Structure 1
């Protein structure tokens, strides 16, 4: 048995996820703008590679947001179906909503991994530069 409150329980979680996804998007867009300016003043292949990575991450965030919003939309549809007495349909739609949320979270993990890999590349560059400086003394 599903009640009106069951899909409503996801509202706070979905809202917080969408806020987190939006913050990630805003941070990436700021980085892209900075890299674009850096490239305009000093073209470098590393900057182009970083922008390619950021483009893929932005695409993932777009899908994460879309799936999250779809999940929220379907939760509202489920509430309408339960209110109208269509509980069986509500069960199925709520299941789809949960699958969309799982997919959104999965993409979030992929994007987080890409972010970590990008940071590790930058850190390895710094370490290599430091090692070169120390050995040159």
Structure 2
């Protein structure tokens, strides 16, 4: 579980950068829409809103995965190895879910 700390941290940094970029693009498109009432801009904003939502789900799953990795290490420390195995498994599943959301988001782009 300790090896996943750096990987999850880097993934979270990438997710946060994506989130901030989408938010900035949405703000710019909103300003464009106010100036020019073009329906294609609204469709782009809706697409980006979905991508922001998926990015939030990716972040939540990734953070939860990190939390379960920390819990795993704590459980190993206090001698609950069997429970630690299950906690680590849950953490891995959450990381997989996060990556599935990433694939979904990439497919939209």
TM-score bracket, normalised by the shorter chain, equals over 0.9
RMSD of Structure 2 on Structure 1 (CA):
0.5
Mapping of residues 54-65 of structure 1, within 5 Å = 54-65=48-59
Give the distance between the partners of 1:82 and 1:61, measured in 2 at CA. Answer: 32
1:50 aligns with 2:44: yes
1:100 aligns with 2:70: no
Listed as ranges, the gaps of 5+ residues in structure 1 are 1-6, 116-137
Deviation at 1:43, TM superposition (A): 0.8
Structure number with larger C-alpha Rg: 1
TM-score (norm 1): 0.79
Deviation at 1:113, TM superposition (A): 1.1
Listed as ranges, the gaps of 5+ residues in structure 2 are none
Mapping of residues 58-73 of structure 1, within 5 Å = 58-73=52-67
**SS of 1:9 mapped into structure 2:** helix
Aligned residue-pair number: 109
